[in-house]
Amino acid sequence: MQKFMNNFYLVWFVPEEYKYFWAEYRSGFSEVIIYFLTAFALSLSIVTNSDELDSFGNLIFLFFLNLPFVYAFPRILVYILDYKARELGASGEPKIFLSFSKYSLLVFLLTVPFVILMKSFEFHSGGTFILYLSFLSLVYFFNLGRGF
């Protein structure tokens, strides 16, 4: 748990130092937990936002639907950015950047409290949810830019 919190701190508060401490705080178990937490948070926010999908079966189905996306999204993004960096002549380290992008996925945990708050204010349309997800995606990309 301490490695998880140290990585979380490094990714979100001092991303320029993450590459120096990556080998020391590396934990594969923490990265797997991030996949499950992010997929569950996205699934729970979709179920909470919708009036028709409010069952436990839908939550489990959406969890297994979001899990491959959460697993593949950072990998595809890292390989594209690494290709562009090597094209410009920089020597990147894709393993470190992949780990950094996995920890950056934790920003999507904020979808659940936002959806619950918007539902209590009766702003639970799909447009509000998509607008908020695009805002979180911008925060995710901004953090990746800080760490790259």
pLDDT of residue 55: 79
Mean of per-residue pLDDT scores for the chain: 82
Buried b (16+ CB within 10 A) or exposed e, 100-115: bbbbbbbbbbebbebb
Q: Which residue has the higher pLDDT, 28 or 97?
A: 97
- Tens of pLDDT, residue by residue over 35-83, are 898 899 888 888 877 777 777 888 899 899 999 999 998 899 888 888 8
Please, which residues have CB within 8 angstroms of residue 34's CB and are 6 or more apart in sequence?
102, 103, 105, 106
CA distance 1 to 29: 10
pLDDT over 80 (residue 91): no
Strands (E), 27-74: none
pTM exceeds 0.95 = no
pLDDT score for 88: 82
| Banded pLDDT at 116 (limits 50, 70, 90) | confident
